Amino acid sequence: MSNSTTNFYAIPHSFSISDIIVVATYFLLNLAVGIWSSCRVSRNTLSGYFLAGRDMAWWPIGASLFASSEGSGLFIGLAGTGAAGGIAVAGFEWNATYVLLALAWVFVPVYVASGIVTMPEYLGRRFGGERIRTYLAVLSLLLSIFTKISADQECLRVLQTDLYSGALFVQVCLGWNLYLSTILMLVVTALYTIAGGLAAVIYTDTLQTVFMIVGAIILTITAFNKIGGYSNLEKVYSAAIPSKIIPNSTCHLPREDAMHLFRDATTGDLPWPGMTLGLTILATWYWCTDQVIVQRSLSAKNMSHVKGASILAGYLKLLPFIFIILPGMISRALYPDTVGCVDPEECVRVCGAEVGCSNIAFPKLVIELMPSGLRGLMIAVMMAALMSSLTSIFNSSSTLFTMDIWKKHRPCATEKELLLVGRIVTVILVVVSVVWIPILQSANSGQLYVYIQSVTSYLAPPVTAVFSLAVFWKRTNEQGAFWGLMVGLVVGLCRMVLECGVVDWAPSVLRSVHYLHFAILLCGLSAIVVVVISLLTPPPTPEQLCNLTWWTLVEEVQREIPMRKVSSVSHRSPHDSESVCRVTCGQGPGLCISAQQSQQPSPPRVPSVRENVFWSRFCCANALLLVSINIFLFAYFA
C-alpha cells in the first residue's frame, strides 16, 4: 500500500474486545457449520461432493444463490457506484428476478433431464465433440479470474476485487496486515470447501447470508438516522459537493437524475435500453449458464425445490438497493470531501486513486458510524461476503477443471482420482489467490461494479446466445455454435483492447458504444452467425436432442446418464468408456429409447422433472407475487 493511502487507512477507533468476540464467533460458527454440513452427505462420490448428493432443500440453495452473487466486491462496488451515480445500479440487482425465474422454470428442467454436472458438459452433450466443451470450460475459469480474483489495471485502472476488497476492508477496520487478513480468510474458507464440497459451501453461504442481512440492516438504520431519514436523502445527496473541485468542470456535482432508475438512452451513465435488454443478456449468462449458480440449483431434491430457491433468491435480490446502494449515497452525503473527491491529487491523498474514491463509501460508513461490537459485526459481514464468494469460485472452478478438462484427458479416471483432483485444484486456487495479493495491493480504485459488468459484456453475450439457441432451437448444431462463439470472442476481445485507448481509428461501435448496448449488439451478432452456419450445415442427430432442448423433454427420464455423451462429431476411440451410450429420440414426447449403458462407477442420480401439482401451483403463485413487487419497484423509481 502506498504511503499516500495511509491517512484513510488509519484506524479512527480502537478495535474493542467486543469486536474481537464477534469476529471470533463468526469464524467458529463458519467452521462448525462447515464441519456439520460435510457430514450430512457422502463426500466420497462425485454426486455427493460436486452436487451435494442432489438432496438440498430450497431455503439453503436460495440463500446460497444470493450469497454467491453478493461478494465483498459487490458490497463495495454497489455502494461505490451508488455514491458516484445514484440508484440506477439497483437495476442490476432487480433484473435478476426475471432470469432467476427463467433458470428454475426453463433452463434447469433441461439441465436436470440431460443429467449434466457442468455447463460445458451440457454443450458437449447437446452438440457432440470436444472443442465447444473445452472452450467454455476455459472461458468460465478465465471469467472467474478476471471478474473475481484479478482484473486488468492497464485498461480501466480499476483493479480491486472480492479477494482484495474484502481483505482491504479488514485492514481498514482492524489495522491487520493485508497478507494476514487474506491468508486467514483463505485458510478458513479452504478448509471446509475442500473437506465438504458443495454441501459445505451451500450451508455456510446460508449462515453468511444471515450475517450479511443483519449487519446491513443495522448499518442502514444507523446511516438513515444520521441524515434524518429517507425523505431527506435526495436533498443531502444533491448537496454533497467536495470543498476542492476542478475549475471549469461539473464532475464534482452529483447527478441530477440520481434518484431515477432509467437514464437517457444516449447520454445516461446507465442508459435505459442497456439496462433492460443488454442487462438481461448479461444476467442470463450469469444466472442461467454460469457454473457457480447452476451447480447450486442442480443440487436440489426436485424441481419444486429448484423453483423455491429461485423465488427466495429473487426476494433477497431486492434488498441490496436498501442495504447497500442507499448507504453508499448516504456515505457521499456525509463525507463529500473523501467519498466524493474529484481532484486527482486529493483523491490520491485520500484513497490512493486518481479516478475517485467512491469505492470507500461502504467501509467509510462502518468505521465512522458503527460503535464497538457492531463494528465487529460489520467486519464479519464483509468476511461473510468475501468467503461466500471465494467458496463459490473455488468449488465451481474445481468442478469445471475436474469434469471438463481432467476427465477429458483421463476418461478412465476412477471416482477417487476425480475427487482428489477436485480437492487439489481448490488448494491451487487458494495459492494463486495469495500470489495475486501484491498485484492487487498496488492497484488503483474506481467504480468496481462497472468494471466487472463491462468485462462481462465483452465476453459473455456469445455464451448467452449459444445456450439460448441450444435450448430453444432444435436446428442449432455444433458448427454453428462453435463459430458463433469464436466470432463473438474475437469481437469482444477487440472491444476490450480498444477500450484501453491504444488506437482511436477503430469504428465507434467497437470503441465508444456503451458496454450494455455493446452486449446487445454482440449477442445479436453471435446469434446470427449461429443461425446462418447451422442452416448451411447438417442438422444435429436425434441423440443430440433427446432431453437436451425445451421441446424434447420427457417427464420421466428412463435412463441413468453417464457424465458425458459423445456424438458422431467426436473422433474419440470407439473403445472409450464414455462413448458407449447411444440414445435415440423420436420427434414426439416420450419416445426416448434407452440404449446400452456405460459402465461408469457411481453415475449421478438423474431426478425427474415431474412435480407435485400443489407445490407446482404454490411456486407459480409466489413467482407471480415476486414479479408484481419487482414491477412496482421499477415503475416507482423509474
pLDDT digits (tens, 9 = 90+) for 8-35: 443 344 567 787 788 788 878 877 887 7
Location of C-alpha cell 442502514:
220
Q: For the chain, first and last CA: distance in Å?
A: 41
Predicted TM-score (pTM) of this structure: 0.82
Question: Domain of 421: which CATH number?
Answer: 1.20.1730.10
Q: Whose CA is closest to 263, among 98, 89, 80?
A: 89
Contact indicator for 8, 351 with CB cutoff of 8 Å: yes
Q: Assess if residue 400 is contained within a domain.
A: yes
The CA angle 468-472-474, to the nearest 5 degrees, is 120
> Helix 178-227 to helix 326-334 angle, to the nearest 10 degrees?
80
Contact indicator for 366, 331 with CB cutoff of 8 Å: no
Share of the chain above pLDDT 90, in %: 30
Which residues share a beta bridge with 300? 56
- Work out how many domains the chain is built from and give that number: 1
- Go through 105-144 and write b for each residue having 16 or more CB atoms within 10 A of its CB, e for each that does not: bebbbbbbbbbbbbbbbbbbbbbbbbbbbebbbebbbebb
Does the CA dihedral 51-52-58-59 come out positive or negative?
negative
Count of CA atoms in the C-beta half-sphere (13 A) of 339: 30
**456 exposed, middle or buried (CB, 10 Å; 0-12, 13-18, 19+)?**
buried
Does the CA dihedral 493-496-497-498 come out positive or negative?
positive
Q: Assess if residue 622 is contained within a domain.
A: no
Q: How confident is the model at residue 158 (pLDDT cuts 50, 70, 90)?
A: very low
Q: Which three cell numbers mark 535? A: 442452416
pLDDT reading at 162 higher than 90: no
pLDDT reading at 107 higher than 70: yes
- Give CA–CA dist 90/77, Å, rounded: 12
- Give CA–CA dist 405/136, Å, rounded: 10
Among 44-58, 154-168, 430-444, 494-508, where is mean pLDDT lowest? 154-168
Location of C-alpha cell 450475517:
211
Alpha helices in 115-268 (DSSP H): 119-127, 131-144, 153-156, 162-174, 178-227, 233-238
Location of C-alpha cell 429517507:
230
Does the CA dihedral 466-467-473-475 come out positive or negative?
positive
DSSP label at residue 259: T
Question: Three-class SS of residue 271?
Answer: strand
Contact indicator for 426, 390 with CB cutoff of 8 Å: no
Q: How confident is the model at residue 502 (pLDDT cuts 50, 70, 90)?
A: low
Contacts of 534 (CB under 8 A, 6+ apart): 473, 475, 476, 477, 479, 480, 481
- Give CA–CA dist 598/551, Å, rounded: 26
- Give CA–CA dist 237/86, Å, rounded: 9
pLDDT reading at 560 higher than 90: no
Question: Three-class SS of residue 592?
Answer: strand
Q: Assess if residue 57 is contained within a domain.
A: yes
Contacts of 178 (CB under 8 A, 6+ apart): 1, 167, 168, 171, 437, 441
Q: In whole angstroms, how far apart are CA 247 and each of 237, 238, 342, 343?
A: 21, 19, 11, 10
The CA angle 515-519-520, to the nearest 5 degrees, is 125
Each residue of 359-368: pLDDT tens digit? Answer: 888 888 888 8
Q: Assess if residue 68 is contained within a domain.
A: yes
Nearest 5°: phi and psi at 319?
-75, -35
Each residue of 338-360: pLDDT tens digit? Answer: 888 888 888 888 777 777 788 88
Q: Whose CA is closest to 331, among 82, 622, 92?
A: 82
Q: What is the mean pLDDT of the chain?
A: 78
DSSP label at residue 412: T
Q: Assess if residue 538 is contained within a domain.
A: no
Radius of gyration of the chain (CA): 24
| One-letter amino acid of 496 | M
- Give CA–CA dist 215/363, Å, rounded: 13
Each residue of 521-557: pLDDT tens digit? Answer: 999 999 999 999 999 999 999 989 988 999 998 755 4
Count of CA atoms in the C-beta half-sphere (13 A) of 390: 38
pLDDT reading at 141 higher than 50: yes
299 is in which domain, residue-wise? 3-258+291-453
Q: Please give the pLDDT value at position 351.
A: 74
pLDDT, mean of residues 203-226: 89
- Give CA–CA dist 115/563, Å, rounded: 8
Q: Whose CA is closest to 388, among 75, 49, 43?
A: 75
Q: Assess if residue 634 is contained within a domain.
A: no
Q: How confident is the model at residue 36 (pLDDT cuts 50, 70, 90)?
A: confident
Q: Please give the pLDDT value at position 110.
A: 94
pLDDT reading at 409 higher than 70: yes
Q: Please give the pLDDT value at position 305.
A: 95
